Amino acid sequence: MSAARSSALRRGGWGLALGWALACAAPALAQDGSTGTDTSLAPRAAMEAPRADQALLLDVAQAGGGWLAVGEHGLILRSTDGAHWQQVPSPVDVTLVRLRFLDAQRGWALGYDGCVLATEDGGAHWRILQYDAAWGRPWFDVRFFDPDHGLLAGTNGTLKITSDGGKTWQAIDSPAFADTPNLYNLIALGDGSLLIAGERGLLARSTDRGLSWTQLKSPYTGSYFGALAVGARGALVFGLRGNAFYAPDLAQAPALSAQERAALEEAANNPEYAARKIDPVSAVAGWIELKSDQTESLFGGTIAPDGRVLLFGMNGHVMQAELKAARLQPLAVSTDNNLNAGAVAGDHLLVVGSAGVQRLPLPR
């Protein structure tokens, strides 16, 4: 990764990491001494970093009786208590943006250069499941239903499915992704249905494990960076400029008609509209806007053991989603660094972002 790209990712955190996915999608090339061109496009193992826990980190998850975090330069960190972290060997040196686990032992990490890593021992060891530097683009989320069947979501509307544990993948084509938005978050709801949230207000639902998708009317035309399953059938989506919306029952959220889709595409292709960078919020049946005085973008979220819904974003913002009151309430935390993701560990918050991993007292 170039110094300029690494610096920009550090300053912007998850939000710029997503943006740089397109701007810097070309693979990091091993240079030939005579031509300066790539000769292998082969993955390179991550280097040992003496201050890895202070590097840019993009996701954190619980697994294997402890905690894991991933980030720039292929960094994978592991902790048994959330306070002390050690780097574990990683077979790639590209930025990793997401961690997902099926159970305490089996999980995946994914990111740039088409990289998907797999572990079967709670994150102690990792192997390359997929790597495509020639494609060069990032994956943003993965969801396995069992050890064999799963979905992989990424750049430019790319969605793939596997039935052999990730050995092979087949593309899923859907009109919902015809406008090629980045697919940032893929979640399973309590009723087993799936939701994809992404760029340019994309919301799409599947009831057949991802084989087909219905695009939903969106209350916002800006990007959704994250989504959480809430209750048996509900979902919370959040993203750019601190916007967040709650659907108590996603099955009741209306689908986007062909005429409405065409109108959105026409507006997106209008130079005057694009120049003004309009990201309007509108009332849409089935969705409740969560009001907030903050406009900092939100990049990650978690549901605490006590049921509280917490969102993490720019400049150290941690917001509690109060669904009945339809609002976001800021919580007092002792950091002003960009936060990309977080989790609750006992009476502490584990947050990752531009300052690495931090263990903060959990506000009550």
How does pLDDT run across 141-156, given as a tens digit for each residue? 999 999 999 999 999 9
Side-chain-side CA neighbours of 189 within 13 Å: the count stands at: 25
| pLDDT confidence of residue 265 | 76
Is residue 4 pLDDT above 60, yes or no? no
Residue that the structure tokens 């593309």 belong to: 171
Q: In a 10 Å sphere around its CB, with 0-12 CB exposed, 13-18 middle and 19+ buried, how is residue 253 labelled?
A: buried
Give residue 105's Cα distance to chain centre. 21
| pLDDT confidence of residue 263 | 80
pLDDT, mean of residues 90-112? 98
Between CA 15 and CA 8 the distance in angstroms is 10
| pLDDT confidence of residue 291 | 98
pLDDT band, residue 278 (cuts 50/70/90): low
3-32+39-361 carries CATH number 2.130.10.10:
yes
pLDDT band, residue 273 (cuts 50/70/90): low
| pLDDT confidence of residue 5 | 41
User: pTM to 2 decimals?
Assistant: 0.89
**Which residue ranges make up each domain of the chain?**
3-32+39-361
| pLDDT confidence of residue 261 | 83
Q: What is the pLDDT of the chain when averaged over all its residues?
A: 89
Is residue 35 pLDDT above 60, yes or no? no
DSSP label at residue 30: P
Of the chain, the end-to-end C-alpha distance in Å amounts to: 40
Report pLDDT digits (tens) over 168-185.
999 999 999 999 999 999
Report pLDDT digits (tens) over 295-319.
999 999 999 999 999 999 999 999 9
Residue of 17, 42, 16 lying closest to 28 (CA atoms)? 42
pLDDT, mean of residues 345-363? 96
Cα–Cα distances in Å, from 306 out to 296, 309, 323?
25, 9, 14
| pLDDT confidence of residue 34 | 45
